[in-house]
Amino acid sequence: MDKGIIGKKVGMTQIYDETGKVIPVTVIEAGPCVVTQKKTAEKDGYSAVQLAFGDTQERKLSRPELGHLKKANVTAKKHIKEFQLKNADELEVGAEIKADTFKEGDFVDVTGTSKGHGYTGVIKRWNAQRTPMSHGGGPVHRHAGSMGSGTDPSRIFKGKIGAGHWGVEQVTVQNLEIVKVDPELNLIAVKGAIPGIKGSVVYLKNTVKVHKVKQIQQQGPVNAQKASARKK
């Protein structure tokens, strides 16, 4: 079953498992979200649902946005996101999706906007190497240096690393495990770090990775004296 939800990054903390091992987790305030629109294969060519998250004031929305939400009998919401789910036909407009949609042990892909670092040089932005500090380096130790020949092609190709704005990009971290779900507070604890600052909006969806369980079949008699047989 495909799942998707909109949430807000609360921050990072750590929890302990049954064996006492420390697990770093990111806490996400997931939902509640409301289904505001359904896309069907017959009408739109694909199946998807549109979710809305976060209450806001009507004056902060445009008239088309308010009309779209009122058509679905939904109050003013701040964030709207479309999820292409295989079971989108099972959800109806006005249905509420909460954090308990996911459960412990699920693996998700989290999408967010990375932190902004302002205008940076090539060393901080691309991990470029600086020039030597001796032999006439002058005040250009952290500059980009030569970027190409002057005769041919007489230009710099697109995609060349250089100084510029670093961050504020859409980033997706895949295959993160859900460690804990709190349905009462609508909180989801995801193992590891996710992009974005505290309070930023993130999107959770089932991971596209495939988890396979390896099944080892032993052929023939096992020699207990070998080291491979003693490993468990």
206 in a domain, yes or no?
no
Q: Tell me: the pLDDT tens digits for 123-172? A: 999 998 887 788 777 788 888 877 877 788 888 888 888 999 999 999 99
130 in a domain, yes or no?
yes
- Does residue 132 have a cis peptide bond before it, meaning omega lies within 30 degrees of 0? no
pTM beyond cutoff 0.85: no
Number of domains observed in the structure of the chain:
1
Say what the pLDDT of residue 230 is.
57
Which residues are CB-neighbours of 141 under 8 A, at least 6 positions away? Answer: 130, 131, 132, 133
The DSSP letter of residue 100 is: G
Say what the pLDDT of residue 173 is.
94
Residue numbers in the chain where pLDDT is lower than 50: none
Cβ atoms 21, 222 nearer than 8 A: no
5 in a domain, yes or no?
no
135 in a domain, yes or no?
yes
**Tokens standing for 68?**
């779209």
139 in a domain, yes or no?
yes
* HSE-CB for 158 with a 13 A CA cutoff: 0
Look-up of token digits 């995801």: 190
Domain holding 135, by residue range, is: 119-146+159-167
Say what the pLDDT of residue 111 is.
94
